[in-house]
């Protein structure tokens, strides 16, 4: 009879792992990692928890006062509100854009190059991205890309005034009126009216402006000239009359006003001359305020009302590529037979996307969203760098408030309480993520 091949069980004192490694040897190899984990993770968490119950000096027990401050301090409450906005919008928008990019680039030849470009911001540090977007959101359209584009779109549909700084000079027949200027005396048919102004730099004059000329009188109408009454050089040129080097105010709007009512209006030609009908007889001529409006300077992206959405936009720019790559990897594993079957059954591409592709990608979308939520709860760099000092309080988040309380305001107790509170916020999200990953492994 053949001998049994069953191996005798190992003695209780020398138990081995599945791979045959002794437990003591395994612990020995894990010991450096456990020491580092304890020193860099467990100890700081424990110390922060203990420190959160002490006052600012660290020599007095404060109980739960530091935790009460989280919900009563105005700065922390603003930070908490902004964190809610971040958690709701930043992961959602990033995941949605990643899904759109992954699906749309799946069938195009240049899809790989596009994904590379979209993913490239991930190679940039938060510090560098913050500096980039601080410049992008600059208020000056000559510096900030966002306002340069916005002003260009605005000026396409609403042309800015060419004479924002124009105003009457010495011995002028004009006086201020409702943001514009009006003649001090009435005008009559057959009369030529001089409307001299100064204050427009030569390089700011309209491109179509020509040398100003004195208007010719017309017995049945009112004529005149609106021009830049300034010639370089001391004592050069004649005041109140067009000189050869002076330019007309091309496009300047002139209104004839009687008893507060506009009875006629016109625009000056390239040489500054204009003509009004006989109905303007006895009126005063007004240059309305629309001629002198300051040029549109764009949106205050980093102002109190828009600073948080603007910073979220920079975050999306960085992390949409991360979401796209993960979703594209999940999309590559979707059975094509299901998609083709849906198309054969008559489903449109939108129906295939909404009822087949998205449900199949639900686990991947959940992992991406939860990962970004954990990342967003710790956001600090972008807010600290992009938000200017004037609106940093409005853009405040918990991680930034932790830094300010601990290092700028000398309140380490409250800073530790915020740190513990952030940990408590992250734990449920991490637990949900781990639970989902284990559920996927069982399948």
Identify the CA nearest to 127 among candidates 383, 320, 372.
383
Q: Name the region of 240 (left: φ>0; alpha: ψ -120 to 50; beta: rest).
A: left
pTM as predicted: 0.75
What is the predicted pLDDT for the residue at 153? 87
Residue with tokens 């005034």: 161
What is the predicted pLDDT for the residue at 145? 92
User: Mind listing the pLDDT tens digit for each residue in 6-41?
Assistant: 445 555 555 555 555 688 888 888 899 989 988 988
The larger pLDDT score, comparing residue 340 to residue 86, is at 86
Contact 378, 83 (CB under 8 A): no
Supply the DSSP symbol for 197.
E
Give how far Cα 46 sits from Cα of 39, 43, 361, 416, 423, Å: 11, 5, 39, 10, 12
**Confidence band, pLDDT 50/70/90 cuts, at residue 5:** very low
The larger pLDDT score, comparing residue 57 to residue 167, is at 167
Does residue 388 surpass a pLDDT of 50?
yes
Of 147-161, 240-254, 317-331, least confident by mean pLDDT is: 147-161
Q: Name the region of 243 (left: φ>0; alpha: ψ -120 to 50; beta: rest).
A: beta
Mean pLDDT of 364-388: 91
Does residue 1 surpass a pLDDT of 50?
no
Please count the residues of the chain.
443
**Confidence band, pLDDT 50/70/90 cuts, at residue 4:** very low
Mean pLDDT of 54-75: 83
Q: How far apart are CA 133 and CA 387, in angstroms?
A: 10
Token digits for 136? Answer: 């992008």
What is the predicted pLDDT for the residue at 2? 46
User: Mind listing the pLDDT tens digit for each residue in 355-375?
Assistant: 998 999 988 998 899 899 989
Q: How far apart are CA 158 and CA 428, in angstroms?
A: 51
SS3 222: strand
User: Mind listing the pLDDT tens digit for each residue in 240-294?
Assistant: 888 888 999 999 999 999 988 999 999 999 999 999 999 999 999 999 988 888 8
């Amino acid at each position: 009879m053949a001998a049994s091949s069953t191996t005798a069980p190992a003695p209780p004192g020398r138990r081995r792992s599945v791979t045959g490694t002794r437990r003591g040897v395994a612990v020995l190899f894990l010991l450096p990692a456990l020491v580092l984990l304890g020193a860099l993770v467990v100890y700081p968490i424990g110390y922060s928890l203990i420190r959160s119950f002490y006052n600012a000096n660290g020599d007095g027990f404060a109980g739960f006062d530091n935790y009460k401050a989280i919900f009563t301090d105005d700065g922390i409450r603003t930070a908490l509100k902004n964190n809610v906005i971040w958690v709701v919008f930043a992961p959602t928008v990033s995941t949605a854009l990643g899904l759109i990019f992954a699906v749309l680039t799946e069938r195009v030849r240049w899809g790989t190059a596009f994904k590379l470009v979209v993913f490239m911001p991930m190679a940039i540090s938060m510090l560098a991205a913050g500096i980039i977007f601080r410049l992008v959101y600059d208020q000056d359209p000559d510096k900030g890309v966002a306002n340069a584009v916005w002003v260009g779109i605005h000026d396409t549909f609403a042309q800015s005034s060419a004479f924002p700084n124009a105003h009457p000079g010495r011995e002028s027949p004009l006086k201020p009126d409702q943001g514009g200027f009006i003649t001090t005396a009435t005008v009559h048919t057959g009369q030529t009216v001089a409307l001299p102004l100064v204050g427009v730099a030569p390089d700011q004059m309209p491109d179509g402006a020509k040398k100003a000329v004195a208007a010719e009188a017309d017995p049945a109408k009112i004529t005149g000239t609106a021009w830049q009454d300034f010639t370089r050089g001391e004592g050069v040129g004649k005041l109140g009359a067009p000189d050869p080097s002076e330019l007309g105010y091309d496009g300047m709007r002139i209104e004839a006003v009687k008893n507060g009512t506009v009875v006629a209006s016109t625009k000056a030609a390239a040489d500054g001359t204009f003509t009004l009908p006989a109905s303007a007889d006895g009126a005063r001529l007004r240059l309305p305020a629309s001629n002198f409006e300051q040029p549109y300077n764009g949106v205050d992206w980093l102002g109190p009302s828009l600073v948080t959405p603007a910073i979220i936009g920079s975050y999306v720019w960085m992390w949409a590529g991360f979401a796209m790559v993960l979703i594209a990897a999940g999309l590559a594993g979707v059975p094509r037979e299901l998609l083709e079957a849906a198309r054969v059954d008559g489903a449109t591409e939108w129906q295939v996307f909404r009822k087949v592709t998205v449900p199949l990608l639900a686990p991947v979308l959940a992992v991406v969203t939860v990962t970004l939520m954990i990342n967003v709860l710790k956001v600090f760099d972008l807010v600290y760098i992009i938000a200017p000092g004037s609106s940093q309080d409005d853009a405040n988040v918990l991680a930034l408030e932790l830094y300010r309380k601990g290092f700028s305001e000398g309140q380490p107790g409250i800073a530790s309480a915020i740190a513990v509170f952030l940990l408590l916020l992250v734990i449920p999200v991490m637990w949900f993520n781990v639970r989902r990953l284990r559920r996927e492994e069982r399948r």
